């Protein structure tokens, strides 16, 4: 039986640049760094973000940007704080998709390796409730 998501791994060109991205935007707590020792396919670091294990591994960046993404939930009151953190790093924002009132706010942005991230204020139950209203 599935208990939940174990971890999410991102392949990044520069571990230190990715570390800066995760720490400055998400307040990620670095819990492991392999240094020059590798137990997996390349050097890696592990972080905790909101109780979720996030791994980064050294490798080639994604060749293109897509809409595949991971979304982190934040309180509505923190929306402007996260927008400021992202801008401070000079990160590219992606135009958000059209929204209907009641499904929350989102910020979409790419990291240095073409991964898309979303900061979102809504919940699944809020979205389903809003979509039922048509």
- Residues 36, 76: Cα–Cα separation, whole Å: 41
DSSP reduced 3-state for 43? coil
Burial of 56 (0-12, 13-18, 19+ CB in 10 A): buried
Q: Which two tokens stand for residue 39?
A: 């137990």
Decide if 21 contacts 85 (C-beta within 8 A). Answer: no
Q: Which of 5, 15, 21, 13 is nearest to 92 (CA)?
A: 21
Annotated catalytic residue within 44, 101, 103, 118? 44
Residue 104's nearest CA partner among 132, 68, 131 is: 131
Whether 60 is catalytic is no
Instruction: Report the catalytic residues.
Output: 44
């Amino acid at each position: 039986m599935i208990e939940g998501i174990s971890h999410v791994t991102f392949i990044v060109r520069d571990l230190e640049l990715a570390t800066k991205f995760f720490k400055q935007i998400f307040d990620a707590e670095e819990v492991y760094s392999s240094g020059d020792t590798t137990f997996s396919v390349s050097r890696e670091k592990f972080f905790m973000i909101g109780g979720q294990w996030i791994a980064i591994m050294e490798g080639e960046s994604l060749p293109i940007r897509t809409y595949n993404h991971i979304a982190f939930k934040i309180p509505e009151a923190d929306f402007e704080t996260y927008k400021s953190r992202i801008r401070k790093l000079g990160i590219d924002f992606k135009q958000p998709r059209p929204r209907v009132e009641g499904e929350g706010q989102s910020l979409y942005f790419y990291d240095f390796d073409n991964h898309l991230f979303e900061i979102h204020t809504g919940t699944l139950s809020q979205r389903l409730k809003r979509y039922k209203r048509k």
